[in-house]
Amino acid sequence: MPNDPIKTIKHILVSKRAREKEPKRVEAILGKFPKITPVDIENEDSNTVREKIHELEPETRWDMSEAVTRGKKILVLTAPTAELVRRFKTDKNMICPHFHIVTTMSNGCVFSCEYCYLQATYRAMWPCMKVNVNFDKILKKLFSISLTNNNANLSTHFNMGELMDALAFEPIIGAVSFFLEHLDDKSFANSELVLLTKSNEVTALCSGIKRFPAAAERIVPAWSLNTPQAATSYEHGSASIDQRLQAAKEAQDAGYRIRLRIDPMIPYGADESYLEEYEKLVHDIFDRGLNPEVITLGSLRYENAVIPIAKRRFPNTDLFDLPLVRTGNDKNRLPFDIRLQMYKTVIAAIREHNNKQPIGLCKEREQLWLRTGLRSGSRTHFDCNCRRNWTFEHIQTEMAIPTEPAGLPVPEVQTILVSQLLDDESFADRRPDSYEGLKRSVSAHGMRHPIEVLKKKVLNTRSSTGFAAFSPPRPCA
């Protein structure tokens, strides 16, 4: 069975801001852990969190490997002011699409994959799993981005699987249930949210679609897969491959589009028999009646910083004995010929079942797309787990779209900018005393200013009226 977060968590920290901003959500999460007494913290900066964790775990040796391991037992509830939806920066050397990363959790994974890149990111700064409970703030940003792209006749693509497992914590935090309800709104008709997971937790997905059927077109669950042997050897605590495929079938039968990602492919063992195991995985996928709208392939890769951390965490691992090479500023990767052989083998197995099945590669250079036959001179569109049917022209157009929603119809711009101003704590004591008053003030100063400039203009011309206890209407209701 996969690791159960409710049984894994040992300590819970709650920031003052989280309790003030989202008291109901905080209490709902704490209610899942009746045997744990939460520890309140005044601030939610990394220094405060680390100091409190050190008090709770005084015997801990706090190097990076220990921070990763211990951090999977510590949950911190925060409501950060930092941006929780950000544009993914595409590596210019890779064929990779444009999308926005949604962060309801940071370091949000209870599983322990030996190759995971998050081991070498910011675990020393945040030795915990952090829930960003201010989902409404995230929703406003999703709305703003979607509305901007709608106005430019562009689709919008969000991904909730880069810094977290999108489904493993759903019974605790309820993020998927929240987005199911709100993405049902017509404002998100041209948007999609991809949920990447190694979990088999689909209860909220399958029950929510009955109440919010339109969201099924906008939420796309996706499963990271491997051979059963590789999953057992290197993906500790995650759902078994059988459980993941069963969950994918349940989601598909409920009405969702699904995507599958066989990544990272690993050439384990003394010979090439592992290739047969990947072929068996493909046959298992189709024999179960799964119909993924795209299958993405990727291979083992990692930064140098991952190696010492993972070796301390997994002293018996053989993962780093494989012949990976590093070229320039790229990650350590398997040699080109090995990757090509793996991809061609799996592509051939897929074609046995569906000759028209969309297939993509994850974070690979153009040469491999060409050598595998997934791209030719006449084929300009790409498919991958993060996005379907995209082109370089799409990316160039979207990257030129400003982050501020300039040029939109005035009522829509007012809704976005007013929501941003309402969400700004530093503006709280200078707000007009009504939502309509703030809309008029926004209109008076023009909608083409960046939000910080607009805020200063409104501040400089409004008298202090104290905090107004009101809520903006739901976007595009």
The pLDDT, as a whole number, for residue 205 is: 95
Q: Predicted confidence band at 456 (pLDDT cuts at 50, 70, 90)?
A: low
Q: Is the pLDDT of residue 470 over 80?
A: no
454 contacts 417 by C-beta, under 8 angstroms: yes
Query: Which pairs with CB-CB distance under 8 Å and at least 24 residues apart come from 277-280?
Result: 277/227, 277/228, 277/229, 277/230, 278/227, 278/342, 278/345, 278/346, 278/349, 279/345, 279/346, 279/349, 280/227
Whole-number Å distance between alpha carbons of 171 and 263: 26
Beta bridge partners of 158: 100, 193
Alpha helix segments (H runs only) across 115-216: 135-151, 170-173, 175-182, 203-211
Could you write out the DSSP letters of every residue in 217-246?
Answer: GTEEEEEEE--HHHHHHHEETSPPHHHHHH
Q: Predicted confidence band at 106 (pLDDT cuts at 50, 70, 90)?
A: confident
Q: Predicted confidence band at 434 (pLDDT cuts at 50, 70, 90)?
A: very low
Helix 274-287 and helix 241-254, axial crossing angle in degrees, nearest 10? 30
Strands 129-132 and 105-106: antiparallel
Instruction: Give the tens place of pLDDT for each residue, 32-86.
Output: 999 999 999 999 988 898 889 888 887 666 577 888 888 899 999 999 988 899 9
Of 10, 305, 304, whose CA–CA distance to 129 is shortest?
A: 10
Helix (H) or strand (E) holding 23: helix 23-30
Whole-number Å distance between alpha carbons of 123 and 129: 9
User: Which position has the higher pLDDT, 213 or 344?
Assistant: 344
Q: Which of 128-132, 300-304, 442-446 has the lowest mean pLDDT?
A: 442-446
| Most confident listed range (26-40, 47-61, 380-394, 409-423) | 26-40
Q: Is the pLDDT of residue 3 over 70?
A: yes
Tell me how far CA of residue 475 lies from CA of 208, 212, 307, 411, in angstroms.
Answer: 21, 17, 46, 11
| Most confident listed range (92-106, 247-261, 404-418, 450-464) | 247-261
Q: What is the DSSP letter of 365?
A: -
Whole-number Å distance between alpha carbons of 87 and 464: 35
Q: Predicted confidence band at 403 (pLDDT cuts at 50, 70, 90)?
A: low
Whole-number Å distance between alpha carbons of 60 and 146: 45
Is the four-CA dihedral 404, 409, 413, 416 of positive or negative sign? negative
Q: In 271-285, which positions are buried (b, 16+ CB within 10 angstroms) versus exposed (e)?
A: eeebbeebbebbebb
Q: Is the pLDDT of residue 457 over 50?
A: yes
The pLDDT, as a whole number, for residue 471 is: 34
Q: What is the mean pLDDT of residues 148-174?
A: 91
Quote the pTM value: 0.83
Q: Predicted confidence band at 118 (pLDDT cuts at 50, 70, 90)?
A: confident
Strands 301-302 and 332-333: antiparallel
Q: What is the mean pLDDT of residues 221-250?
A: 98
The pLDDT, as a whole number, for residue 75 is: 96
Phi and psi at 476, nearest 5°, equal: 55, 35
Q: Is the pLDDT of residue 333 over 50?
A: yes
Q: Is the pLDDT of residue 203 over 90?
A: yes
Query: Residue 55 contacts by C-beta under 8 Å, 6 or more apart in sequence?
Result: none
467 contacts 425 by C-beta, under 8 angstroms: no
The pLDDT, as a whole number, for residue 453 is: 52
Beta bridge partners of 337: none
Residue 169 CB coordination number (10 Å) = 26
384 contacts 294 by C-beta, under 8 angstroms: yes
Reduced to 3 DSSP states, what percent helix, strand and coil does the chain have, rounded to the nearest 5? 45, 15, 40
Question: Rounded mean pLDDT of the chain?
Answer: 83
Maximum Cα–Cα distance across the chain:
76
Rg (CA), the chain: 23
Q: Dihedral, CA atoms, 170, 176, 178, 181, nearest 10 degrees?
A: -140
Tell me how far CA of residue 225 lies from CA of 199, 208, 228, 235, 353, in angstroms.
Answer: 10, 25, 9, 10, 18
Q: Predicted confidence band at 233 (pLDDT cuts at 50, 70, 90)?
A: very high
Of 206, 367, 240, 216, whose CA–CA distance to 293 is shortest?
A: 216
Whole-number Å distance between alpha carbons of 205 and 255: 10
Q: Predicted confidence band at 416 (pLDDT cuts at 50, 70, 90)?
A: very low
Of 372, 377, 352, 207, whose CA–CA distance to 298 is shortest?
A: 372
Q: Is the pLDDT of residue 180 over 70?
A: yes
Q: Is the pLDDT of residue 443 over 90?
A: no
Q: Is the pLDDT of residue 325 over 50?
A: yes
The number of helices, as runs of H, and strands, as runs of E, in the chain is 19, 20
Instruction: Give the tens place of pLDDT for each residue, 368-383.
Output: 999 999 987 666 788 8
